[in-house]
Every structure is written in C-alpha cells, then in structure tokens.
Amino acid sequence: MTESKPPIRVRFAPSPTGHLHVGNARTALFNWLFARGQKGSFILRIEDTDVERSQADFERQLLEDIRWLGLDWDEGPDVGGLHGPYRQSERTDIYRKHGMKLVESGHAYYCFCTPLELEADRKTALSQRRQPRYSGKCRQLSREEVSRRRQAGEPASTRLKIPEEVLSFPDLVHGLTRFSPDAIGDFILLRPGGQPAYNFAVVVDDHLMQISHVIRGDDHISNTPRQVAVYRALGWELPQFAHLSTILAGDRTRLSKRHGATSVDHFREMGLLPEAITNYLALLGWSAADGVTEILSREQLTAQFSLAHIIKSPAVFDLQKLFWLNRHYMKGSPLERLVKLSLPVLRSAGYLGEQVGKETEQWLELVLGAVLKNVDHLSQLPDPVRLIFHFDGREAVQAEENKDVIESEDSRRVVDSFCQRVAAAGELDSDKFRALISEVRNETGQKGKNLFHPIRVALTGRTSGPEMDKLVPIFEQGAKLSLPNPVKNCAERAREFARFALKGAAD
C-alpha cells in the first residue's frame, strides 16, 4: 500500500504596499524554483487585509515586477484557480466563518477591550518591565454578558486562546523550533469589523489553498508559534515550514530604501538583466550542491535547487557581485535584445529621438559591441558612448590630457599625415582604415602606441576608449543617420582637429 504524497504547492504572499524589494524577490524566487523543480504549483496570493496601506496600483506594480523577473504563477489574483479568491480582501467571509467556528468550539472568544485600554496596559507593562501581552481579561466573560454586549452593538474583536503548552514546529532550514506559551498572549484573529489579522488569515489561506511548504522570510519565525496554535485549534495539519534568512545591507542592518537601489523596478531601470538578478539572488543563502558553481541559468537553477542547501545565516547584499553577473549575462545576450533595452537610457541622455529606425538599431548594435565591456549595466551607457555623439575639435586640442599629442613632434606628424589621408579617402570601413593606418606608419615610421594614440586623440578627443577599428565604422555609419546629436564622420573629425592643432602649432 503506497501512500501517494500530497502535491507540492507553494505560495508567495506579498502585501501590496509598493514595489518588490530584493528580500521579497528572493523569497518569491526560492518558492518558484522549488515549485518548478518539484513539478509543483506556485501560487500568488495578495495579502491586502490592511486596507489603509494596500493600494490597487501597488498590486499592479508587484505583479509586473515578479513577471519581469521571469517568475510565472499557476494560481493568482489575475489568473484565478481552484482555491480562490487570491486576494485576502475578497476572502473576509471565509475568515469570519472560521473565526466563528473557533468561538463556538471554545478555542476563541470575543474581546471588548478598546485600543485605548490595550495601549494603556501595554505601557504599564513596559514601564514595570513586564512582558507586554494581552491580559486575557475578556476570556472570563460570561456567555450572557458577551451576547448582551454584542447585541448592544459594542465592537468586539475575536481572540484565540493560547493553550498552556509548548508550541513547536519543524523547520526545514532551522530544525525543530520551540516556543514557550508564556511569551505569547491571546492574539487577535478578527478585528471588530470582521477583517482578519495576519496570523489568522495566513493559516486559513495556507490550509484552504492546500499549501504544502511555507517558504518565507525568517522575520516570521516568531509568528509561527501563533500560527501553530491556530492550526491546532482548527484541527488542521501543519505544512512544512522553511524560513529564509534576512538580506542585509553592508552596514548589517536590514536592507531598505536608504541603502540605494533595492527594489526590482529600480534594477530594471538601471538596465540590469532579470536573469542576472535571479542568479544573484539564488546565491544569497543558497549554493549549488558542488559548492563551487555560481553561474547558473534559470534551467540549471530549477533543476538543482534544493531546500537542503539553504543556509541559516543572513546575507549582505553585494551590488558588485550582481554587476559581475550582469556583465556576464550581457556578454551572452544577443545585441538586438540589448539595443532594445538600452533605447530608453540613450533617449533620455538625448542621443536618440522618439522614433528609432531599423538602420539606427543596427548601428546601435555596433555601438554596443564596442562599449558593452566597459559597463556594469545599461544605464551606464551614456558615458562611454559620449565620444560618439560629441566631438569638438577645439576642445580636443585644448584638453589638458591631450597636451603631449599636440606638443610632440612625432605625434603631430602622425596626425598631419593621417588627417590629410582621411580627407582624401572618402568613406572608411575597418579595412580601409587599417590600410590607411599602415600608410601613415610607412610615412612617419611610427608604430604601436605612438601611431594609434595620436590618431585616437584626433578622432575622439580622448586618450582612451574602445578599439579604433570598431570606432571608425561607428563614426562613418552614424554620420549617415539622422540623430538629435548628429555623429561626425572621421573626415569631419580629422578636419576639425587638424585645423585647431595646426593653428596651435603655428605659434
């Protein structure tokens, strides 16, 4: 007699209070990887019981961020499913029903204490250095009194009776975790309005949605005994728990906005690739079985992911390592895709207009091919690309860093020879450029650095940049496009530079 295992079902249950932060993104990813690797289901549930803080627009942003990361869900608020609705705000009746059941079975009771009273109790407890927990005042109320006060319309919340027994649960990453009930007060299940409190809603939902594994942040560890109490009161079986460590910032405090870019949408705006982000996030608290491999595709990740290799200690978020992975994935990415992704950045830098034609996109592939290895992410593009769109012969000649090129006899001869030839050459391509260079070499006797450096300065105004034979076709073809910042071709550049350089030399 083989007992068939219940299907793997996991969920990601964010509150719609803003964009997806890296901590949550990592939780979502681990759930997703586990589901996909185990041929299970990944469920998205929106925890919007706090009506004041939840907004429809935030939910939209959240879904967008998760989807952009490449995580898809099998059941959720937008796609539906057998265990819906998937928004807690639409499940109030369900919570109310289970709350009533608990009151009837004697596991819960109505509490008439006002927030003001409770706050006062809390304060005195704190001032007496006592544990601030609910006194259980309303536990003793007689049936009659309760129904009388309820009928009089007095607002009542519903509280769970915490039993006098150790509340423990096995955790897949932390092992058996136990809590003494002394530290836990009778907490609120339902607010007077009937809206559920978090610790109640999660349990009801996770059970009804048949969640097999609850994988979430370890900030929920201390909440788990409360939830265990709810499971017991309802006579439900516990799911498997796996609590993931926190992601910290470099100063070892919880990662937050003040630490800079920490949300998925921000990373998207920076032009980071989603596969770089998921790869990086996977490395935070998890490692491949061989302990060595760090670059893992989405497929490798799902195939290799295992809860057994999750680490317990918190991890510090390291942007540098994310950038390293991003550079890696940019290198392996088709230029066509990267061009599309960099359009907004180049546009807002003023280098592109609203309409970008096919030829321009093809030309941009050349541009990216030349400068990509100089950037961590796409939004750094405007800087290395500047020398393509901006060239001013006077500035180039006057620039301090170019002084030695202007002043040295040898390099002036190179510039001179080169500029004359360019003027006569017509349109250049890499081959023609190389041929021209070797003519200059023969004429001036300069080679290597002494040959290329003056030419680089003459054509770009800079002492460093991408390889010249990549740059030349970019200049030439770029000049034929109509762009907000017209690109000057080699002949124009050389002419401008020569004019100012010669003038300076005449003195």
Partner RNA sequence: GGCGCUAUCGUCUAGGGGUGAGGACGUGAGAUUCUCAAUCUCAAAACCCGGGUUCGAUUCCCGGUAGCGCUGCCA
Is 231 a binding residue for RNA by CB under 7 A? The answer is no
Is 497 a binding residue for RNA by CB under 7 A? The answer is no
> What is the spatial distance between Cα 206 and Cα 228, in angstroms, rounded to a whole number?
12
- How many CB atoms are located within 10 Å of the residue 480 CB? 13
Is 505 a binding residue for RNA by CB under 7 A? The answer is no
Is 297 a binding residue for RNA by CB under 7 A? The answer is no
Is 254 a binding residue for RNA by CB under 7 A? The answer is yes
The SS3 of residue 428 is: coil
The SS3 of residue 373 is: helix
Closest distance to RNA from the beta carbon of 202 (Å): 8
Is 220 a binding residue for RNA by CB under 7 A? The answer is yes
Sign of CA dihedral 307, 10, 317, 246: negative
Nearer to RNA, 235 or 448 (CB): 448
Closest distance to RNA from the beta carbon of 507 (Å): 28
Closest distance to RNA from the beta carbon of 217 (Å): 8
Q: Which helix (H) or strand (E) holds 445?
A: none
385 CB contacts (<8 Å, ≥6 apart)? Answer: 346, 349, 351, 367, 371
**β-bridge pairing 240-244 and 213-217:** parallel
Nearer to RNA, 8 or 173 (CB): 173
Is 294 a binding residue for RNA by CB under 7 A? The answer is yes
Is 70 a binding residue for RNA by CB under 7 A? The answer is no
> What is the spatial distance between Cα 92 and Cα 51, in angstroms, rounded to a whole number?
12
Is 222 a binding residue for RNA by CB under 7 A? The answer is yes
Nearer to RNA, 123 or 503 (CB): 123
Q: Which helix (H) or strand (E) holds 76?
A: none
- How many CB atoms are located within 10 Å of the residue 110 CB? 22
| Stretch touching RNA by CB under 7 A, among 142-150, 271-279, 308-316, 411-419 | 308-316
Q: Taking a C-beta distance cutoff of 8 angstroms, is the pair 280, 325 a contact? A: yes
| Stretch touching RNA by CB under 7 A, among 258-266, 349-357, 387-395, 464-472 | 464-472
Instruction: Spell out, one character per residue from 357 to 396, where the chain touches RNA: x when CB under 7 A holds, - when not.
Output: ----------------xx----------------------
Is 399 a binding residue for RNA by CB under 7 A? The answer is no
Is 287 a binding residue for RNA by CB under 7 A? The answer is yes
Closest distance to RNA from the beta carbon of 174 (Å): 4
Burial class of residue 233, CB neighbours in 10 A (0-12, 13-18, 19+): buried
> Encoding tokens for residue 202?
């999660």
Is 465 a binding residue for RNA by CB under 7 A? The answer is yes
Binding residue (CB under 7 A) for RNA from 313, 354, 424, 506: 313
Binding residue (CB under 7 A) for RNA from 192, 344, 369, 504: 192
Is 253 a binding residue for RNA by CB under 7 A? The answer is yes
| Range 99-138, binding RNA (CB under 7 A) | 113-115, 118, 122, 129, 131-134
**Is 257 an active-site residue?**
yes
**7 half-sphere exposure, CB direction, 13 A CA radius:** 11
- Out of 257, 312, 403, 447, the active site residue is 257
Nearest to 185, CA basis, from 124, 232, 226: 226
The SS3 of residue 327 is: helix
Nearer to RNA, 258 or 449 (CB): 449
Bond preceding residue 155 cis, omega within 30 of 0: no
> Encoding tokens for residue 279?
């790869």
Nearer to RNA, 360 or 446 (CB): 446
Catalytic residues: 257
